[in-house]
Chains A and B, each alone.
Chain A
């Protein structure tokens, strides 16, 4: 124990009772030197680094974005990972023995925490208030990102494997990344959807005009451009919740879902999409898609979007819903174009339509607000 040291939230400002852990600078399990910055905290006056007072291996306990009281445990530093984990486990057990309050948790949350080897006290210390729920544990695990990930096989009863299932393949690294990202995102969102049909006559005219002018514009680009402009008037859809805070993106950087020829999903970002013309958006989308496929896309080109557009043009698909990306709260799914009979000027004529489904976080806006965005988007697309 003498070689293992507890890292606590320092008292930077005399009047502060809490700080927010902005981010970890040192990774969990890193070997650090005395004086190294290990994490960044936000006080009432400024952001500041917490530096290591001892050299050794870091075991992170508190989660990023947690609001922590002064003196709360951030983590441990010791000579080896095994040593700090042993001390952390003993401390947790001791807290149980002396009758320290064990955080209340739902049975599913407790079972998941136990399965993943995480003490409920650690989850509570990360900023969870009230009874710990399964979603709290999932969020904690996703934010830590370094704990044993869920394996789909974990949850499959042995009887099914013995009698009905056979192992087929391991998830690819890319599939794991997509699953982890969406799980982290949707674990904290209260997802709901609204949808509408949009007439495409005007959009198709714009596409035809652009293509005649020599620019390969498609429905994806028209929808992305219109969404970015309309989002300026409905910017709550671009807010994102994290812990106790609501953030708003500084710019209308909009992502689009693309699938590489070998079937991998990516979401490149078009920066400042609300200020670009249609041809510029098409150019950037094509260029990013090519870079993704060639493997030359930079990681930052896939980050920082406030909203995402997904377009599946299969004509047999009438509607679908999509899951918001991590650190976003909404996504628009535009399905395939279809023809439906409508009465125009007293005659029945086929009208090209597309169904659009908006998935949003009900924790940040309600269905009336989400529907207003879709109505505005429909107007923008039908009569630009």
Chain B
């Protein structure tokens, strides 16, 4: 899967997990951090991780889950897992 596709999937997962409205989708990009989005709380983080694992066919370990603080961090973690 190309990085652009992975980026797109990550973006869709975040929109789903945070239940963002149509007008909020544009704020999601590679530089988006958890602190940029009020909705990115513990519940949303769990939903995000579950959605990522389901869509990308990966499984994050404990250290990785707590380190997913931005879209960029997620992309780097996914790249590491997919070799």
Asked whether, in the complex, the Cβ of B66 is within 8 Å of the Cβ of A283, the reply is yes
Asked whether, in the complex, the Cβ of B49 is within 8 Å of the Cβ of A290, the reply is yes
Asked whether, in the complex, the Cβ of A211 is within 8 Å of the Cβ of B69, the reply is yes
Q: Does A18 contact B (CB under 8 A)?
A: no
A-side binding surface: helix, strand, loop or mixed?
Answer: helix
- The contact string, 1 if C-beta is below 8 Å from chain A, for chain B 47-70, is 101100000000010110111110
Which residues of B16-48 are within 8 A (CB) of A?
Answer: 33-35, 38-39, 41-43, 45-47
Q: Does A128 contact B (CB under 8 A)?
A: no
Q: Does B73 contact A (CB under 8 A)?
A: yes
Asked whether, in the complex, the Cβ of A282 is within 8 Å of the Cβ of B46, the reply is no
Q: How far is the CA of A214 from the CA of B33 in the complex (A)?
A: 11
- A259: contacting residue among B43, B60, B68, B73, CB under 8 A: B43
B-side binding surface: helix, strand, loop or mixed?
Answer: helix
**B35: A residues at CB distance < 8 A:** 207-208, 211-212
- What range describes how many residues of B lie at the interface? 20 to 34
Q: Does A313 contact B (CB under 8 A)?
A: yes
Q: How far is the CA of A104 from the CA of B73 in the complex (A)?
A: 66
| Shortest beta-carbon distance from B23 to chain A in Å | 16
Q: How many residues of A contact B (CB 8 A)?
A: 28
Q: How far is the CA of A258 from the CA of B43 in the complex (A)?
A: 7
Q: How far is the CA of A18 from the CA of B4 in the complex (A)?
A: 74
Asked whether, in the complex, the Cβ of A258 is within 8 Å of the Cβ of B46, the reply is yes
Asked whether, in the complex, the Cβ of A279 is within 8 Å of the Cβ of B66, the reply is yes
- A293: contacting residue among B39, B42, B50, B63, CB under 8 A: B50
Asked whether, in the complex, the Cβ of B69 is within 8 Å of the Cβ of A261, the reply is no
**B68: A residues at CB distance < 8 A:** 216
Q: Closest residue of chain B to A287, judged by CB?
A: B62
Asked whether, in the complex, the Cβ of B73 is within 8 Å of the Cβ of A214, the reply is yes
Q: Closest residue of chain A to B61, judged by CB?
A: A287
| Shortest beta-carbon distance from B62 to chain A in Å | 4
- B69: contacting residue among A215, A260, A313, CB under 8 A: A215
Asked whether, in the complex, the Cβ of B65 is within 8 Å of the Cβ of A287, the reply is yes
Q: How far is the CA of A9 from the CA of B23 in the complex (A)?
A: 71
Q: How far is the CA of A203 from the CA of B6 in the complex (A)?
A: 33
Given known A-B contacts A286-B46, A293-B50, A214 and B62 have beta carbons under 8 A apart: no
Q: How far is the CA of A211 from the CA of B42 in the complex (A)?
A: 13
**B42: A residues at CB distance < 8 A:** 218, 220-221, 258, 285-286, 289, 311
Q: Closest residue of chain A to B54, judged by CB?
A: A261
Q: Does A315 contact B (CB under 8 A)?
A: yes
Asked whether, in the complex, the Cβ of A211 is within 8 Å of the Cβ of B34, the reply is yes
| Shortest beta-carbon distance from B64 to chain A in Å | 10
Interface centre among B43, B65, B68, B73 (most CB of A within 10 A): B43
Q: Does A337 contact B (CB under 8 A)?
A: yes
Asked whether, in the complex, the Cβ of A289 is within 8 Å of the Cβ of B67, the reply is no
| Shortest beta-carbon distance from B37 to chain A in Å | 11
- The contact string, 1 if C-beta is below 8 Å from chain B, for chain A 291-330, is 0010000000000000000010101000000000000000
Q: How far is the CA of A98 from the CA of B42 in the complex (A)?
A: 63
Asked whether, in the complex, the Cβ of B34 is within 8 Å of the Cβ of A289, the reply is no
Q: Does A22 contact B (CB under 8 A)?
A: no
Q: Does A219 contact B (CB under 8 A)?
A: yes
User: Which positions in A face B, CB cutoff 8 Å?
Assistant: 207-208, 211-212, 214-216, 218-221, 258-261, 279, 282-283, 285-287, 289-290, 293, 311, 313, 315, 337
24 CB-based A-B contacts, threshold 8 Å: A208-B35, A211-B69, A214-B67, A214-B69, A216-B68, A218-B42, A221-B42, A258-B43, A261-B46, A261-B47, A283-B62, A286-B45, A286-B49, A286-B65, A289-B46, A290-B46, A290-B49, A290-B60, A290-B65, A311-B41, A313-B38, A313-B39, A313-B43, A315-B38
Closest 5 CB pairs of A and B: A287-B62, A283-B66, A313-B41, A218-B42, A220-B42
